[in-house]
């Protein structure tokens, strides 16, 4: 048995030993059937990998050379779906993903730029990056035993860097304790007037040691002019000295950037969000497939598989549907199983690497199943991306993956309520607004279209004054919360 994997709560399996070091992902709350729970709450010790596909496919356009073999996730042929996929000519404004493989400024590490969440950070070559629960986690491998965590939050009125640091450390202590481990920390002399601490984390036979501190950076947002960034790094005690210098550079290479807006799309069947450069590859009554740069893919399928196909669980459903799609899993990074939650008898969250259409991808899939004598039916949410692109877009993939709403929950009021849940979550646990997940729902007065605007997309010096703007200079109107 791999010592880095332990029995998880509520039936979870393959959970990493320190998954409890992060906030739960508010973006996971976007649907009754999309709650990644502990699987997605892995920001502190390891990285979650969501998967993609080949490049630049639009709804009515031919695939670039070498991509024709990658199908839409409409699951044709042999699966009794409730409708047939049809191409839809809908797209968000085109823009390239902001990703750089070379370091910049004084950062000695390769920089990764995430324009969906609005930041850049140093990521050593071959390391993993995940943005979940408002955290940025960079780790040497999926076990997360050598890694770092950044958590940026707005310095709103009444919040200081010191109170933020202490609140977040105590919150993490509570989470660790709830999971049966322990997190202790010892305050160290301040650094530039800001708090710092050494920390020790224990879970079973595993012990990690590390350092934690906080920095204050300029961030010209609507609610504040600065952000506080909690930063911690850790490693097994025997390896900390050798890795501390490299780990510390990860935090020094962090900085905020202007984030993209996510446009809200609604039709007779689905509500979903897309950032610039994404299109609807196809949509039917019961599936929607969103495609982005290098054919990164986010999809939702309401499926039905007749009895006699050997499908009676989430795992067998994944095996069956992946077989139809031509996805071959090469490694399972994390797996969690749940029963009798929400609308399904059983659910599985699976993080994996795979070969698909001749390419190596990273992916995340959720499958819920209900089984009867006639067969198995349920829902699948799938996110995929090429390995080289994953680090810079996984935050956007998970946001889109969780935001897809099927017909029964498809209205603007529902989307506003879900967005408010994302906004409120950090305030409920630690009394601050995290920078990555914080969003304002806005409306284009010229078209009536809606957008989700990350905090870091706010322009203090916009052409028509402070506010949220489209690339064409259109000032957007904030939408009051319900």
pLDDT of residue 67: 45
The answer to whether residue 348 scores a pLDDT higher than 50 is yes
| pLDDT band at 108; cut points 50, 70, 90 | very high
CA distances from 361 to 96, 203, 299, 329, 432 (A): 20, 31, 15, 9, 35
Domains 18-47+96-259+428-444 and 49-93+270-405 share a fold: yes
Out of 3.40.1000, 3.40.50, 3.30.160, 3.10.350, the CATH code matching 18-47+96-259+428-444 is 3.40.1000
Can you give the residue ranges of every domain in the chain? 18-47+96-259+428-444, 49-93+270-405
What distance in Å separates the CA atoms of residue 352 and residue 32, rounded to the nearest whole number?
Answer: 23
Residue 285's pLDDT band (boundaries 50, 70, 90)?
Answer: confident
Query: In which band, very low, low, confident or very high, does the pLDDT at 479 lie, cut at 50, 70 and 90?
Result: confident
Residue 21 pLDDT level (bands cut at 50, 70, 90): very low
Q: What is the pLDDT of residues 184-231, one digit of tens each?
A: 999 999 888 999 999 999 988 889 999 999 999 988 888 888 899 999
- Say what percent of the chain tops pLDDT 70: 71
**Which among 174, 169, 162 is positioned nearest to 199, based on CA atoms?**
169
- Look at residue 146 in the predicted model and tell me its pLDDT: 94
pLDDT at 269: 87
Q: For the segment 109-135, what is each residue's pLDDT rounded down to a tens digit?
A: 999 999 998 999 999 999 989 886 678
What does the pLDDT read at residue 329?
A: 96
Please give the mean pLDDT across all residues of the chain. Answer: 75
CATH class of 49-93+270-405: alpha beta
């Amino acid at each position: 048995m791999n010592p880095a994997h332990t029995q998880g709560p509520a039936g979870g399996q393959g959970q990493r030993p320190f998954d409890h070091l992060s906030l739960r992902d508010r973006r996971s709350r976007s649907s009754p059937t999309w709650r990644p729970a502990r699987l997605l709450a892995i920001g502190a010790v390891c990285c979650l990998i969501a998967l993609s596909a080949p490049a630049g496919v639009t709804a009515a356009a031919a695939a670039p050379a070498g991509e024709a073999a990658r199908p839409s996730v409409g699951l044709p042929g042999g699966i009794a779906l409730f409708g047939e996929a049809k191409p839809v000519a809908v797209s968000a404004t085109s823009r390239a993903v902001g990703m750089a493989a070379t370091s910049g400024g004084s950062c000695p590490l390769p920089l990764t730029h995430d324009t969906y969440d609005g930041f850049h950070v140093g990521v050593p070559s071959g390391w993993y990056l995940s943005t979940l629960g408002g955290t940025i986690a960079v780790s040497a491998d999926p076990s997360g035993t050598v890694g770092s965590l950044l958590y940026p939050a707005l310095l709103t009125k009444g919040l200081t860097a010191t109170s933020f640091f202490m609140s977040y450390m105590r919150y993490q202590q509570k989470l660790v304790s709830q999971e049966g481990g322990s997190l202790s920390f010892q305050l160290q002399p301040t650094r530039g007037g800001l708090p710092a601490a050494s920390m020790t984390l224990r879970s079973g036979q595993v012990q990690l040691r590390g350092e934690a501190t906080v920095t204050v950076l300029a961030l010209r947002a609507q609610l504040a002019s600065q952000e506080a960034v909690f930063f911690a790094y850790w490693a097994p005690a025997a390896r900390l000295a050798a890795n501390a210098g490299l780990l510390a550079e990860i935090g020094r290479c962090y900085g905020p950037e202007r984030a993209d807006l996510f446009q809200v799309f609604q039709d007779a069947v689905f509500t979903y969000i897309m950032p610039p450069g994404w299109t609807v590859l196809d949509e039917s009554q019961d599936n929607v497939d969103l495609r982005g740069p290098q054919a990164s893919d986010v999809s939702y399928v309401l499926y039905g598989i007749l009895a006699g196909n050997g499908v009676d669980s989430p795992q067998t459903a994944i095996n069956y549907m992946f077989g139809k799609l031509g996805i071959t899993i090469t490694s399972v990074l994390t797996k969690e199983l749940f029963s009798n939650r929400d609308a399904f008898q059983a659910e599985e969250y699976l993080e994996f690497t795979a070969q698909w259409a001749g390419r190596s991808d990273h992916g995340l899939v959720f499958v819920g199943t209900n089984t009867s004598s006639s067969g198995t039916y349920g829902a699948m949410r799938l996110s995929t991306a090429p390995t080289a692109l994953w680090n810079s877009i996984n935050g956007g993939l998970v946001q889109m993956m969780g935001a897809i709403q099927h017909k029964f929950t498809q209205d603007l009021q529902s989307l506003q309520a879900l967005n408010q849940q994302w906004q409120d979550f950090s305030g409920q646990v630690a009394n601050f607004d995290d920078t990555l997940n914080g969003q304002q729902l806005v409306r284009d007065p010229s078209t009536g279209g809606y957008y989700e605007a990350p905090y870091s997309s706010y322009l203090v010096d916009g052409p028509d004054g402070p506010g949220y703007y489209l690339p064409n200079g259109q000032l957007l109107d904030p939408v009051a919360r319900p």
